[in-house]
Amino acid sequence: MKITKLRLANLPTPIKKSRFLSNELGINLYIKRDDYTGIEISGNKIRKLEYVFKKVLDSGFNGVITTGGIQSNHCRATVAAATSLGLKSIVLLKVAEAPKIEGNFFLDNLFGAQIRYCTPEEYRTSRNQLMQDIASQESKMGNNYFVIPEGASFGIGSMGYFEAIEEIVRQEKELGIKFDTIVVATGSGGTYSGLYLANKYHKLNKRIIGFAVCDDSEYFVKQIDGINKESLEYLDKEVDISREDIEINDKYKGIGYALSRPEELEFIKLIASKEALLLDPVYTGKAMYGLYNEAKAGNLKDAGNILFIHTGGLFGLFPKQDQFVF
């Protein structure tokens, strides 16, 4: 890898066997606890942000702008990291109605972010332009903001999960286990891209399954392929990328981004009550529900040892608590 990073996350994150799910499904399921990367910065985004903030500091920016949904884990982690480094932050949040101050959005406020809003339509069609506009306005006031795209899913960010694979390979040696299949939730594609590239770069031949939490597999294959291409400039040797072996399962995205079906919430309850594992309703809950159903249907018989990457999202559970039935 041609770029370096800051150290912001608690790494390496532990890998633990899932007792209940392994027994229940007759598979060997391990979980990499990237929900343990920190408290304020917890989850997968901080691995990407370690690389992004290195560039931000080296290039002399004094703040960052990013964007996401109202309960975006990425925005919250970005704001927390920026504040901890003495940088300013602006988050452009997608809202359909006046938001309640709770969960990640509460923390964005607590960590001192400047909050801006856009409509779902503006978000879809022009979020990057809107962030650029904010950056230009700020530059007239003497500020110098770096724009981080949704989910930090771009070439630099992708290096965070490139490095995570190298961490996993070291842990395989320590634990004496080989993980044949890696499973992860996919929301903007950067996590999948990093895993994919490192798998190719190191010729590991692992199967990597991304469970889409919104959109469809065609959309994500295109997104991930785009991020892969951007990332190549940070690698010191050629990597043979193709669209064909990007594996995205979009059967479990349910009724849309950050929206939950009763069966998904029941599943989160089941896993919490059987093994005290907290899944979030937006990402890991859907991805694990997908893995569970695919295993039940007998579709993971050849998957070998499976490593599910728990990408975090805990703060997004609390704004949904009223939808759970006890």
Ligand X SMILES: *Cc1c(COP(=O)(O)O)cnc(C)c1O
Q: Which residues bind ligand X (CB under 6 A)?
A: 43-45, 73-74, 151, 153, 185-192, 280, 283-284, 311-313
Q: Closest separation between CB of residue 92 and ligand X, Å?
A: 16
Long-range contacts of 135-143 (CB under 8 A, 24+ apart): 135/65, 138/63, 138/90, 143/62, 143/63, 143/88
Select from 18, 16, 20, 17 the least CA-distant residue to 274.
20
Tell me the three state secondary structure of residue 240: coil
Q: Is 139 a catalytic residue?
A: no
Q: Closest separation between CB of residue 74 and ligand X, Å?
A: 5
Q: Which is nearer to ligand X, 34 or 138 (CB)?
A: 34
Q: Which is nearer to ligand X, 47 or 138 (CB)?
A: 47
Select from 129, 163, 131, 191 the least CA-distant residue to 54.
163
Q: Closest separation between CB of residue 190 and ligand X, Å?
A: 4
Select from 135, 262, 246 the least CA-distant residue to 184.
246
Burial class (CB in 10 A: 0-12, 13-18, 19+), 284: buried
DSSP 8-state secondary structure symbol assigned to residue 118: E
How many residues does this entry show for the chain?
326
Residue of 18, 42, 72, 231 marked catalytic: 72
Q: Closest separation between CB of residue 224 and ligand X, Å?
A: 9
Rg of the Cα atoms in the chain = 19
Q: Closest separation between CB of residue 298 and ligand X, Å?
A: 26
Q: How far is CA 73 from CA 195, 235, 267, 299, in A?
A: 20, 27, 21, 31
Q: Which is nearer to ligand X, 105 or 138 (CB)?
A: 105
Q: Which is nearer to ligand X, 12 or 281 (CB)?
A: 281
Q: Which is nearer to ligand X, 138 or 155 (CB)?
A: 155
Write out the catalytic residue numbers: 72
